[in-house]
Amino acid sequence: MNDTITQFIAQHRIHEVECVIPDMTGIARGKILPKDLFLAAGEMRLPKSVLLNTVNGQQPDNGPFVGETDPDMVCIPDIRTARVVPWAAEPVAVVIHDCQEFDGSPVTLSPRSVLRHVVGLFEAKGWQPVVAPEMEFYLVARQQNPHEPLQPPLGRSGKPEAGRQSYSIDAVNDFDPFFMELSQFCEVHRLGVETLIHEAGAGQMEINFSHGDPMDLADRVFLFKRTVRETALRHGIFATFMAKPMEREPGSAMHIHQSVLDQDTGHNVFSLPDGSASPLFTHYIGGLQKYVPQVMPMLAPYVNSYRRLSRFMSAPINVQWGHDNRTCGIRIPKSGPDARRVENRVPGVDVNPYLAMAATLACGYLGMTEQIAPSSPMTSSAWDLDFELPNHLEDALSRMRACEALEKVLFPEFVKAFCAVKELEYATYNRVISSWEREHLLLLV
């Protein structure tokens, strides 16, 4: 085992190590090992089919994707991800692992492998992608009945939020104990969180991350979701990353800011030497416009995701673009030439962060390499235009399966397996009889 991780475990007096991988839904799977076994083994083995779990714990027929014998894969610890688990009663570490075949090649079903592959395509062109996610989430009152609507939690005032408190400092302060502990946990966990604001919805918050390497940011988002949920439980409330948890409140997004640097010079390739926008910048936008509707299952992975994408609810309905225009799916924030970037406002916060970042970077990469011209920028409200995004998961999956260009940049076998997982989830959802159906159809039709 690497000396660095041995020193890390000794320095923090670690007793156990959580060895985790993200599956296709973004759920942490793996094993908890005593420190000595972790150091002695140097790897972990799991069935490859673990990557194919749906969010409700089912699996599609995995034979076509992993083989009929359900073989193992080798999970190698990425030492750079080693962190202390701040809420554990005793010193515990978590280490994210990479999934490999026994010959050392990447398991192409692994979300980390997909993201690393897309970043590698950029690197082969001499480009270095940079991302910065913004994450919205809701704090909600604890409840045990999934048939009852979610409610805002009680703050220190003893009352739930009765209205929308966008950017309210007092509304954030109402949950000071929660956010103080969350801040401490994020610091111990080395998550690099920058700012906290109260968003538009009742109990809706937003956390911004500093910009950086896509894999590092995906790791931090993956760990952050778990950190928020654990902190909320300690304070008697729930935290949810559902895209649309409450009917009358705005949905929650994970906006992704992205730019591309020249690997040799560090110069932002979206800007020319005179400070004006480069052709690569407009082509990147063109790629997002063309391919985001085709890769929506990675940006809106659940039935609930499409409830967020509705007109006049602070969420995009198309892939129009504009300068500092929040009604567009693609926004260009005001910035200087060195910080010129694109903000993809389409992803919901319910995404697997590895796959969402791989998807949006893949769209931009295809735009740059295919030299796709974008439409004219929007200078008015894009909410007044027609829907350009899929209206539901079934439509999104059909579009993704039919897009050959995406298969080439995301691994063909991954696209097929991912769609199979999502189709099984959709089929399971379709069997559920909703409260709306019982209320309006039971005695009236």
pLDDT score for 160: 65
Query: What Cα–Cα distance (Å) separates residue 47 from each residue in 28, 68, 219?
Result: 14, 12, 22
Q: Within 13 Å and on the Cβ side, how many CA atoms surround 376?
A: 2
Q: What is the three-class DSSP state of 190?
A: coil
Contacts for 318 with CB less than 8 Å, ≥ 6 apart: 328, 329, 382, 385, 386, 387, 388, 389
What is the model's pTM? Answer: 0.94
Contacts for 59 with CB less than 8 Å, ≥ 6 apart: 49, 52, 53, 421, 424
Q: What dihedral do alpha carbons 110, 112, 118, 123 form, nearest 10°?
A: -140
Per-residue pLDDT reduced to its tens digit, 295-304: 999 999 999 9
- Mean pLDDT computed over every residue of the chain: 92
381 falls in which pLDDT band (50, 70, 90)? Answer: very high
Percent over 90 (pLDDT), the chain: 79
Strands 92-100 and 72-77: antiparallel
Strands (E), 268-386: 321-323, 330-332, 342-344
Domains for the chain: give ranges and CATH numbers. Answer: 3-107 (3.10.20.70), 119-436 (3.30.590.10)
Residues 390, 397 contacting (CB under 8 angstroms): no
The rounded distance, in Å, linking the Cα atoms of 126 and 211 is 19
147 falls in which pLDDT band (50, 70, 90)? Answer: confident
Q: What is the three-class DSSP state of 76?
A: strand
Per-residue pLDDT reduced to its tens digit, 54-93: 999 999 998 899 988 989 999 999 999 999 999 998 999 9
Per-residue pLDDT reduced to its tens digit, 41-58: 889 999 999 999 999 999
Residues 107, 99 contacting (CB under 8 angstroms): yes
Per-residue pLDDT reduced to its tens digit, 170-198: 666 778 888 889 989 999 999 988 777 67
Strands 92-100 and 16-22: parallel
Query: What Cα–Cα distance (Å) separates residue 380 from each residue in 195, 206, 260, 377?
Result: 29, 26, 28, 9
Contacts for 398 with CB less than 8 Å, ≥ 6 apart: none
Per-residue pLDDT reduced to its tens digit, 319-370: 999 999 999 999 999 999 999 999 999 999 999 999 999 999 999 999 999 9
Per-residue pLDDT reduced to its tens digit, 406-419: 998 999 999 999 99
Q: Within 13 Å and on the Cβ side, how many CA atoms surround 231?
A: 24
Strands 127-141 and 237-240: antiparallel
Residues 81, 95 contacting (CB under 8 angstroms): yes
Q: Tokens in use for 372?
A: 């796709």
Long-range contacts of the stretch 116-121 (C-beta < 8 A, 24+): 116/215, 117/358, 117/409, 117/410, 117/411, 118/358, 118/361, 118/362, 118/365, 118/409, 118/410, 119/214, 119/215, 119/361, 121/362, 121/365, 121/409
Q: What is the three-class DSSP state of 115?
A: helix
Minimum mean pLDDT among 59-73, 89-103, 212-226: which range?
59-73
The rounded distance, in Å, linking the Cα atoms of 324 and 331 is 6
Provide the 10 A C-beta neighbour count for residue 433: 9
Minimum mean pLDDT among 91-95, 146-150, 252-256: which range?
146-150
Q: Tokens in use for 139?
A: 């704090």
* pLDDT over 50 at 13, yes or no: yes
Exposure string of 125-142, with b = 16+ CB inside 10 Å and e = fewer, is eebbbbbbbbbbbbbbee
